[in-house]
């Protein structure tokens, strides 16, 4: 059977394949028909060289060209939403209408459009002008960016269509995308649309390239290569840390989104006030998409008492009566099963679940575990390990002081939630816990579960290590996400006609710039006169 | 003789010293009287614990408290400028009036004041509000920051008074400062003033602590410690890379300013037009402070021809007739001597210098070397090694294409300059070279030498690896420098009274915030109505 080609330097070429693979339909465990290559180094070497050449052109392009390409590509994805969704459904078992056509694909289109708007506006680059010293600076493009997407979002985080991709391109960088081997066909369809948009654009053909898979060693070699500048990665902690190490050792930037258990603290007043509603919110959040979200609530902290017992009983009942979702692949099924066993080995009590799900698909029954605070504290490292999927652990603590002690053991997280009562009875406890939680999470949430990541400027889909590799940046939300893939470019006494457009005296785009310490959309002359 | 104490947890305590050392007057090679400790781990352990406790208080303080402390401290430095300058002169041989009282001390005071202003304004934290989704975010404090200053700026980059210190404090973080062992007494005097300012402030006593020295192993252990969050470092590449590795491996942020040769490209039209003036500019820049600046022009690229020969002859003559500066210490003298020999071993021709300087002080005669472009290209890695001090290498290239090839071999640099003619005759060559140079430097300069780093918002004292550890940030210039020592803090559906001041609806400080994608100094209600 023919091996699918890779997209290198603007053309679909047969891969220098070290091996091949097929995706598996997780609902049937049957392999899907197409055979995809595991690229050998020659593919990656070719991609790096072509990307470097593309960069030399791309970094000189006006932002309008970048924006127009992203918008055109977004339109093509929108026009092919049904086909894309059906293909992704076969590779992920995620539902076509509710997940893809009605959710993730519009989000992906919107992200590309927001990235285009950010590129066109230019304010993301923080243009800064000091008229007295003759210094002007802005963030500019960085170089070749490798983007490796995760298994759980075949569109919104795809290496060739997701947020990292859109950010890197909008900032003026070429992208070498790696498909997630769980959904190569979906990625191939996206790449075909992307190539059409590239050919219709002012961008060089090699501005976006695609490979499907590579050996771990070649992945590390790719990071370390002088032609690579940065990595955008979403996935497991283990692979992420290996890639980070390869980047760090060679001065490459690594923006990684790795594991998170997203602690949810349920204060007693909130449970007394609206316990049943919180059960519903938690179950909805934890089982959504079979729990396969980076922001899945994997750790609940609640104070010992009747309301907490009722919460747990309510969740157990709903977990047992709720449908069991299909997991993304057999590897995920195995990892989740092992993770649940590992938490039990570390002292957690299985309340429900922990068994193979019914039917032929990849699945694990909806799982809830419980552990007391003292036990958690004796083995906090193991008991906070992420179980990616429809599973959660409730830590029942003796009191607020023990809750604080538990928070103090937590590694960096994407999110942390606190539910508190409306009547103010939880406020003292909130004030005691919030500062410690704040330090450990990127997004601090009140009275809401962590799933659902709005693509807005104030979003932070990021957090302290090891949730990510740098706590200062978000992977979701424009214009901020662009700033990851950028270098600060200062111009000192540079003659006016040689300056980039955003740093010249006139400001026809009305971009916000800091001129002599004042943010303004004015021209330099007008600002200096004012 | 009594060993000087370290500043831990708000008090001068006797050190748990693993060893001791004395600074040496580089003008006489005589040891200075005071004996300082090389801290054992117990000192660092105590500093980390005290800093962690201080952080729990400090991160909750209003920005006004941080600003007031920085301003008070700045005032105390200003009031003691003479004593500080005389002490630093003994430890560095740099001149009291021209370098310290008339230059570096006012700069240091100004930096602290600018950092205070940035903290008070709050705009550095990029407050961002999305009213539709209920998401609000800003940069917030990061945690304990270790600051290690270099030998060449006893004030403006000192771990307890310089730009990294000011940035870390202004962003809300406690600092553990390490003196450079070349100027411990100067650092001690600064710390005494700092402690006075701390005691007079709302900051916890342990917000700033000081040790003088530590073993390399303890330095790496300090970086890796869970209580440490980040490093601010200026110094040699070798030490910087070791510290970076320790930080990277444990998810700590490392902002490092390391080596740079700061290439200066002299285009033919410029040399024809104003060759003698360029000789003067180059000699002044290269010999300033005995060349001991991060932005010293260590590599000149010029096209083969009579004007380039004249430039070289002019520089040789001036190097030979100019006074020989005193170097900072014997280690610097040895490193420079070895570096000059190493460039010759790699193919450079010694035109002048390369010998011990006259007199008793640490010095090397003003040194100029020359190499042709072809030789440079065969051994670019060795020939671009930094020789920190009063030394430079001229690469004479055959043509613009070879100049481009030379630029393409260069590692990341803090700065890069291009001199071009006023009549436009160099413009074509400029356009061919600029994009490659732009990618390799933080600050791109026209018609000016690289020394002299203005402390303004548009400055970039940074650049691609290995000049620094992250190309997106500057170490000099406010408010940008604060953003290094910060984490992105998002608040999702958080009740209004629990939000930090900068994210509430009202905006009494008039800080620029992005509300619903529009930058404004208005309140939220007013902005939403507008």
A429-475 pLDDT, tens per residue?
Answer: 999 999 999 999 999 999 999 999 999 999 999 999 999 999 999 99
Judged by phi (left if over 0) then psi (alpha if -120 to 50, else beta), residue A93 lies in left
Please identify among residues 421-440 of chain B the ones whose CB lies closer than 8 Å to any CB of chain A.
Answer: 430, 434-435, 438-439
Q: What is the DSSP string of B295-364?
A: T---EEEEESSHHHHHHHHHHHHHHHHSPPPPPS-HHHHHHHHHHHHHHHHTTPEEEE--SBPSSSSS-B
Range A6-18+31-258+475-481 has CATH code 3.30.559.10: no
* The residue count for chain A: 530
| Tens-place pLDDT, residues A200-245 | 999 999 999 999 999 999 999 999 999 999 999 999 999 999 999 9
| Overall average pLDDT of the A6-24 stretch | 97
Of all residues in chain A, the percent with pLDDT exceeding 90 is 98
Rounded Cα gap, residues A261 and A282, in angstroms? 14
Closest CB to A457: pick one of B470, B487, B514: B514
Decide if B319 touches A, using CB distance below 8 A.
no
Query: Cβ of B489 and A143 within 8 Å?
Result: no
Decide if B416 touches A, using CB distance below 8 A.
no
Nearest-CA distance from A457 to chain B in Å?
Answer: 7
Residue A11 parent element (H or E): strand A11-13
Rg of chain A over all Cα atoms, to the nearest angstrom: 24
Nearest-CA distance from A41 to chain B in Å?
Answer: 24
| Overall average pLDDT of the A138-149 stretch | 98
pLDDT means per 10 residues, chain B with 530 residues, are 94 96 97 98 98 97 97 98 98 96 97 98 98 97 98 97 98 98 98 98 98 98 98 97 98 96 98 98 97 97 98 98 96 96 98 93 97 98 96 98 98 98 97 98 98 96 98 98 98 98 96 95 76
A-chain residue closest to B415, CA distance: A490
- Top residue of A492, A502, A511, A520 to mutate, by most chain B CBs within 10 Å, is A492
Q: Assign A490 a pLDDT band (cuts: 50, 70, 90).
A: very high
Query: Cβ of B253 and A495 within 8 Å?
Result: no
Closest CB to A474: pick one of B248, B434, B488: B488
What φ, ψ does residue A474 adopt, rounded to 5°?
Answer: -110, 145
B-chain residue closest to A134, CA distance: B458
Rg of chain B over all Cα atoms, to the nearest angstrom: 24
Contact B39, B76 (CB under 8 A): no
A-chain residue closest to B493, CA distance: A446
Closest CB to A248: pick one of B129, B248, B430: B248
B-chain residue closest to A503, CA distance: B458
Query: Cβ of B519 and A512 within 8 Å?
Result: yes
Rounded Cα gap, residues A500 and B16, in angstroms? 55
- Top residue of B488, B505, B513, B517 to mutate, by most chain A CBs within 10 Å, is B488
Contact A156, A163 (CB under 8 A): yes
Residue bearing tokens 């020592």: B485
Please identify among residues 136-155 of chain A the ones whose CB lies closer than 8 Å to any CB of chain B.
Answer: 136-137, 139-140, 142-143
Query: Cβ of A488 and B462 within 8 Å?
Result: yes
Q: Assign A528 a pLDDT band (cuts: 50, 70, 90).
A: low
Pinpoint the alpha helices (H) of A122-258.
Answer: 163-170, 184-199, 216-224, 237-248
Contact A235, A212 (CB under 8 A): no
Contacts of B338 (CB under 8 A, 6+ apart): none
SS3 A125: helix
Decide if A61 touches B, using CB distance below 8 A.
no
The whole model's pTM is what?
0.97
Residues of A with Cβ-Cβ distance to B415 under 8 angstroms? 492
| Class in CATH terms, B55-119+134-258+474-481 | alpha beta
Note the pLDDT of residue B528: 59
Tell whether the torsion through CA atoms of A309, A315, A320 and A321 is positive or negative. Answer: positive
Which of A478, A491, A483, A416 shows the shortest CA–CA distance to A450? A416
Mean per-residue pLDDT of chain A: 97
Please identify among residues 178-217 of chain B the ones whose CB lies closer than 8 Å to any CB of chain A.
Answer: none
Note the pLDDT of residue B454: 95
Closest CB to B443: pick one of A140, A415, A492: A492
Contact B462, B474 (CB under 8 A): yes
Residue A30 scores a pLDDT above 60: yes
Decide if B123 touches A, using CB distance below 8 A.
yes
Residues of A with Cβ-Cβ distance to B128 under 8 angstroms? 457-458, 480
Q: Assign A278 a pLDDT band (cuts: 50, 70, 90).
A: very high
Contact B474, B118 (CB under 8 A): no
Decide if B470 touches A, using CB distance below 8 A.
yes
Contact B135, B491 (CB under 8 A): yes
Distances (CA, A) of A72 to A54, A86, A156, A171, A177: 19, 22, 17, 17, 19
Burial class (CB in 10 A: 0-12, 13-18, 19+), B381: exposed
| Tens-place pLDDT, residues A173-196 | 999 999 999 999 999 999 999 999
Of all residues in chain A, the percent with pLDDT exceeding 70 is 99
Note the pLDDT of residue A305: 98
Rounded Cα gap, residues A55 and A123, in angstroms? 22
Rounded Cα gap, residues B528 and A91, in angstroms? 44
SS3 B71: helix
Residues of B with Cβ-Cβ distance to A490 under 8 angstroms? 442-444, 458-460, 474
Residues of B with Cβ-Cβ distance to A480 under 8 angstroms? 126, 128, 488
Residue A529 scores a pLDDT above 60: no
| Tens-place pLDDT, residues A97-141 | 999 999 999 999 999 999 999 999 999 999 999 999 999 999 999
Contact B499, B470 (CB under 8 A): no
Query: Cβ of A133 and B456 within 8 Å?
Result: yes
Query: Cβ of B486 and A469 within 8 Å?
Result: no
Note the pLDDT of residue B529: 54
Q: Assign A525 a pLDDT band (cuts: 50, 70, 90).
A: confident
Decide if B248 touches A, using CB distance below 8 A.
yes
The encoded tokens of residue B135 equal: 């998401």
Closest CB to A136: pick one of B133, B137, B458: B458
Note the pLDDT of residue B404: 98
Query: From the DSSP assignment, how many helices (H) and strands (E) are in chain A?
Result: 16, 23
CATH topology of domain A264-446: Aldehyde Dehydrogenase; Chain A, domain 2 (3.40.309)
A-chain residue closest to B441, CA distance: A489
Residue-range domain boundaries for chain A: 6-18+31-258+475-481, 264-446
How many Å separate Cα A256 from the centre of its chain?
8
Note the pLDDT of residue B358: 83
């Amino acid at each position: 059977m023919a091996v699918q080609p890779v997209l290198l330097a603007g053309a679909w070429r047969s891969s220098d394949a070290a091996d091949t693979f097929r995706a598996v339909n997780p609902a049937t465990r049957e392999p899907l028909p197409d055979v995809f290559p595991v690229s050998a180094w020659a593919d990656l070497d070719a991609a790096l060289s072509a990307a470097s050449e593309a960069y030399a052109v791309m970094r000189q392009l006006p932002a309008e060209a970048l924006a127009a390409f992203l918008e055109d590509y977004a339109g093509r994805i929108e026009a092919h939403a049904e086909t894309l969704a059906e293909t992704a459904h076969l590779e992920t078992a995620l539902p076509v209408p509710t997940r893809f056509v009605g959710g993730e694909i519009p989000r992906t289109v919107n992200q590309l459009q927001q990235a285009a708007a950010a590129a066109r506006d230019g304010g993301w680059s923080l243009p800064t002008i000091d008229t007295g010293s003759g210094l002007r600076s802005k963030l500019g493009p960085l170089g070749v960016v490798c983007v490796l997407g995760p298994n759980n979002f075949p569109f919104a985080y795809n290496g060739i269509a997701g947020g990292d991709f859109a950010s890197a391109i909008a900032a003026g960088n070429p992208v070498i995308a790696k498909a997630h081997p769980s959904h190569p066909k979906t990625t191939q369809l996206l790449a075909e649309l992307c190539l059409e948009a590239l050919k219709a654009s002012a961008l060089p053909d090699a501005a976006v390239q695609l490979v499907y898979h590579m050996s771990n060693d070649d992945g590390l070699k790719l990071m370390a290569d002088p032609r690579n500048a940065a990595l955008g990665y979403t996935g497991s902690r283990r692979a992420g840390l290996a890639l980070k190490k390869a980047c760090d050792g060679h001065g490459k930037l690594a923006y990684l989104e790795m594991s998170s258990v997203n602690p949810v603290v349920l204060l007693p007043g909130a449970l007394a006030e609206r316990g049943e509603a919180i059960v519903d919110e938690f179950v909805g959040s934890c089982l959504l998409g079979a729990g396969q979200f980076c922001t899945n609530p994997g750790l609940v902290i609640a104070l010992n008492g009747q309301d907490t017992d009722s919460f747990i009983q309510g969740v157990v009942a709903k977990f047992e009566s709720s449908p069991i979702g299909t997991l993304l692949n057999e590897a995920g099924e195995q990892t989740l099963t092992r993770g649940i066993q590992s938490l039990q080995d570390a002292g957690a009590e299985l309340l429900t679940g922990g068994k193979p799900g019914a039917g032929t698909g990849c699945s694990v029954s909806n799982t809830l575990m419980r552990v007391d605070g003292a036990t958690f504290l004796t083995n906090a490292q193991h008991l906070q390990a992420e179980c990616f999927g429809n599973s959660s652990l409730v830590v029942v603590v003796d009191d607020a002081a023990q809750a604080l002690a538990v928070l103090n053991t937590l590694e960096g997280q994407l999110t942390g939630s606190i539910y508190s009562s409306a009547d103010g009875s939880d406020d003292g406890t909130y004030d005691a816990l919030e500062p410690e939680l704040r330090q450990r999470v990127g997004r601090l949430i009140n009275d809401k579960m962590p799933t659902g990541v709005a693509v807005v400027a104030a979003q932070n889909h990021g957090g302290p290590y090891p949730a990510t590799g740098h706590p200062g940046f978000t992977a979701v939300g424009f214009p901020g996400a662009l700033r990851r893939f950028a270098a600060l470019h200062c111009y000192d006494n540079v003659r006016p006609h040689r300056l980039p457009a955003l740093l010249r005296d006139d400001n026809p785009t009305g971009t916000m710039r800091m001129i002599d310490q004042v943010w303004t959309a004015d021209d330099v002359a007008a600002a200096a006169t004012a």
